[in-house]
Amino acid sequence: MAPTYDDDDDWTGAPPEGHVTRDRSDPGHWMRNWPAQTIVYAVIGVGIVVVVLLAVLAS
């Protein structure tokens, strides 16, 4: 059995979590409309539909 690695002792400064102060945070970041992401998901969805239709029609 391999020994587990404990990385709690290798911090050289402040840990990365919580380094953005409350006045710099942007809680609406995840609620914004992301058009590029929407386009990518639409293309993937259309691609899946095309593949399923081709599989159904080919059988």
pLDDT given for residue 25 in this prediction: 76
CA 9 vs. chain centroid, Å, equals 29
Q: What is the DSSP string of 5-45?
A: P--GGG--SS-STT-S-TTT--GGGGGS--HHHHHHHHHHH
| Residue 54 forms part of a structural domain | yes
| Residue 3 forms part of a structural domain | no
Question: How many domains does the chain divide into?
Answer: 1
Give SS3 for 27. Answer: helix
| Residue 45 forms part of a structural domain | yes
| Residue 40 forms part of a structural domain | yes
| Residue 42 forms part of a structural domain | yes
| Residue 46 forms part of a structural domain | yes
| Residue 17 forms part of a structural domain | no
Q: What is the DSSP string of 40-56?
A: HHHHHHHHHHHHHHHHH
Q: Containing domain of residue 40, as a range?
A: 34-59
Residue-level pLDDT, tens digit, the chain, 59 residues: 556 666 656 666 665 666 667 777 787 877 787 788 889 999 999 999 999 999 999 98
| Residue 57 forms part of a structural domain | yes
